[in-house]
Amino acid sequence: MDLGVESVDALEGKKVMLVPYMREHVPRYHEWMKKPELLLATGSDPLTLDQEYEMHLSWTKDPKKHTFIVLDKELIKGGFVCGEPHIEAMVGDVNIYMNDPDVFQVAEIEIMIAEPKSRGKGLGEESVLMMMASAVKKYGIQTFRAKISESNIASLKLFHKLGFKEASRSDVFKEVTLELLVADRAVNDSILS
Ligand SMILES: CC(C)(COP(=O)(O)OP(=O)(O)OC[C@H]1O[C@@H](n2cnc3c(N)ncnc32)[C@H](O)[C@@H]1OP(=O)(O)O)[C@@H](O)C(=O)NCCC(=O)NCCS
């Protein structure tokens, strides 16, 4: 699978560009995160716009968190310009979080394709693969984890399709933790090829 080339801070795939989450993206991101179904699917709490700006600032300062905005390449107007936010094409986000300071090789990964019209086109799958490939190369990540609500069939199927396996289940939070070990040769090939 062609995972594209990296140009400065953006990652280019066949269908998506991943660009760093910029301050200019915050208002639209905030609109998405008002929707109850997205709050539920991502396990997020509603924030005010000011809180969203604060959250953005804290994420950009946190070396353990790396958040990219997913741009649908078909929606980019006038050609991609590196450093531009391209709000017209933003459809979701993908991020990794290295939450255990002692185990930097483990990262939690999250994906959201927020715009319903952009779902089912392979953008989520490509974004996750690109994010993982970048995290393996840049940070030496060896294990990816995804925490997904038991009721989120689309997301469960996406991560299972990519080779993630169930590692644990919380009956209290109604959540499944899936894991993917990069050391698995077949996995390595599909991420990095
Ligand atoms: C889950 C989500 C990320 C999928 O993104 P997407 O771009 O629509 O998915 P893709 O088109 O890349 O599909 C890839 C695979 O995911 C699975 N999938 C995606 N949408 C699905 C759906 N509605 N029902 C069942 N499986 C689905 C399929 O296995 C699909 O492979 P296939 O096309 O060969 O069947 C997206 O629907 C979303 O963001 N939903 C809301 C937020 C969310 O749930 N985030 C995850 C929190 S952990």
pLDDT digits (tens, 9 = 90+) for 27-57: 999 999 999 999 988 889 999 999 999 999 9
Q: Does the CB atom of residue 157 touch ligand 1 within 6 A?
A: yes
- Domain that includes residue 42, residue range: 11-192
- In a domain, residue 34? The reply is yes
Q: Which helix (H) or strand (E) holds 60?
A: helix 49-61
- In a domain, residue 38? The reply is yes
- Per-residue pLDDT tens over the stretch 109-138: 999 999 999 999 999 999 999 999 999 999
Residue nearest to atom 48 of ligand 1 (CA): 148
Q: Does the CB atom of residue 42 touch ligand 1 within 6 A?
A: yes
- In a domain, residue 60? The reply is yes
- In a domain, residue 4? The reply is no
Q: Does the CB atom of residue 67 touch ligand 1 within 6 A?
A: no
- In a domain, residue 151? The reply is yes
Give Cβ neighbours of residue 58 (< 8 Å, ≥ 6 apart). Answer: none
Domain count within the chain: 1
Instruction: Tell me the chain's radius of gyration from C-alpha atoms.
Output: 16
- In a domain, residue 3? The reply is no
Q: What is the best residue among 42, 125, 147, 178 to mutate for testing ligand 1's pocket, by most ligand atoms within 8 Å of CB?
A: 125
Q: Does the CB atom of residue 95 touch ligand 1 within 6 A?
A: no
Residue 178: CB atoms within 10 A of its CB come to: 22
Residue 66 is part of a domain; what is its CATH number? 3.40.630.30
The reported pLDDT for the residue numbered 188 is 72
